[in-house]
Structure formats: structure tokens, C-alpha cells
Amino acid sequence: MTLRNAKSFARIFVVAVLAAPLGACIAPTSYVDNTMPDIAPGHYQAVANPKPAQLLFDFQTKGATNSRAREELQATVLDTVKESMIFVPVSPDPQPGGALVQVTINNVPLEDDAAAKGFMVGLTLGVAGTTVGDGYICTVQYSAGAGATPITKEVRDAIYSTIGATAPTPPHADKAPSMLEAAQRLTHKCVGNALDQLARDPAFPK
């Protein structure tokens, strides 16, 4: 180990030791907004003759593709579309005579100073609590085939994260065990509601 590496590891060790007792108060707690209800299996708009569909999914952070987040939520999106029974079968591969469906979830800040708030919590070692909100714009684009006019549906939802000892619990929101589970719950809710709206559109083939 070189001297430079030794110093780096020493710094990491010191920071880790100092941070360990503070982890509980600095670690964020996630809450999923419950204003928009989730849709249970069997409660989607019924489609008498569901068509096959090729499903694409993109997760964006402030409009730019976030491929790592996309990987984390891809299975949730696929499961939600299958569960809706609005398209049968559903696959990421081209479906002969099938539709093309793109789900896009764009994660946007609800406050411009969210990063600064988090930074302040860190500076006060978690004593100064705060709540920051993440907005999610879920868009479902549907094309029946080449040349067909696409139909687009959009729903919006939010996740709130509390950080620090004095952060207030956000109203109209359900606590999630982890950030990832919060994102999965929100994804199921957003994609399900957007699909339901799509199936209710008069232009959507039933």
C-alpha cells in the first residue's frame, strides 16, 4: 500500500467511525404520497380483447435517462402491466401485430433547494431535521402500430423523505420500509393509474 493510499484509507476509517453513531438520525425515511390510490388486480378498466404489446421502460432523473434506476424498477413496471390485463401478452420484444407501449417515469425535484436542505442536515449532524419531496411524472405512450396516432396518458405522484431528528412526518403519505420499496410502490401506483386511464380512453381499442 502506498502512502497516499494509506492516508486515504485512514480518512475513510475516521469518517466511518465518526458517522456510524449518527447514521440512525441522518438516514432518510421515505413516505409515499397516498392522495392517488393504488389499483388492485382485477379493478382495472376491463378490456375484452387485449392485444399483445411490446413494453419499453425508461426512468429519468430531471429528464435524463437514469439507467441504474431503470434496472431497479424494470421488473415492477413489467409486473404492473401484466397484472392490468390491458395487454396480453406483454414483452420487451417486438410482438407480431402488437402495440408499442412506452412507460417513462421522470423524477423531478419538488423544491429547488432540496440538496441544500440535505447538506444542512449533514452539517448539523442530523439535529436539524427536514423533509424534501420528489415529484414523479409517469407517462404512458401507446401506439397501436406503424402510422397509428399515439395516445399519451400522464399521472403525477410524490415521495417525501425526512432526514434528521426533528423532521416532521409528512401528511397524506404512507411510510415505506426503504427508499427502494417506496420507489417500487410509487411505480406500481403510477403505472397502474396511467394504464387504467389509457384503457378508458375512447380511442383505445377495447
Binding site for another protein (CB under 8 A): 5, 8-9, 11-12, 15-16, 28, 30, 54, 56-62, 64-72, 92-94, 100, 102, 107, 109, 114-115, 118-119, 134, 141, 143, 145-147, 150, 159, 161, 179-180, 182-183
Give me 38's grid cell. 393504488
Q: Tell me the sheet residues that pair with 104.
A: 58, 139
Q: Which residues of 68-79 are buried (b: 16+ CB within 10 A; e: fewer)?
A: ebbeebbebbbe
Q: How far is the CB of 111 from another protein (least distance, A)?
A: 11
| Nearest CB to another protein, comparing residues 6 and 127 | 6
| Nearest CB to another protein, comparing residues 60 and 80 | 60
| Nearest CB to another protein, comparing residues 65 and 166 | 65
Give me 35's grid cell. 392522495
Q: How far is the CB of 120 from another protein (least distance, A)?
A: 12
Tell me how far apart the alpha carbons of residues 36 and 203 are, in angstroms, rounded to a whole number: 24
Q: How far is the CB of 5 from another protein (least distance, A)?
A: 8
Strand, coil or helix: 155: strand
| Nearest CB to another protein, comparing residues 42 and 100 | 100
Query: Position 178: which residue type?
Result: S
Q: How far is the CB of 134 from another protein (least distance, A)?
A: 5
Compute φ and ψ for 98, nearest 5 degrees: -95, 175
Alpha helices in 114-160, H assignment, sequence order: 114-123
| Nearest CB to another protein, comparing residues 41 and 201 | 201
| Nearest CB to another protein, comparing residues 86 and 158 | 158
Q: Which residues contact 61 (CB under 8 A, 6 or more apart)?
A: 69, 106, 107
Q: The cell 436542505 sits on which residue?
A: 117
Q: How far is the CB of 49 from another protein (least distance, A)?
A: 23
Q: How far is the CB of 159 from another protein (least distance, A)?
A: 6
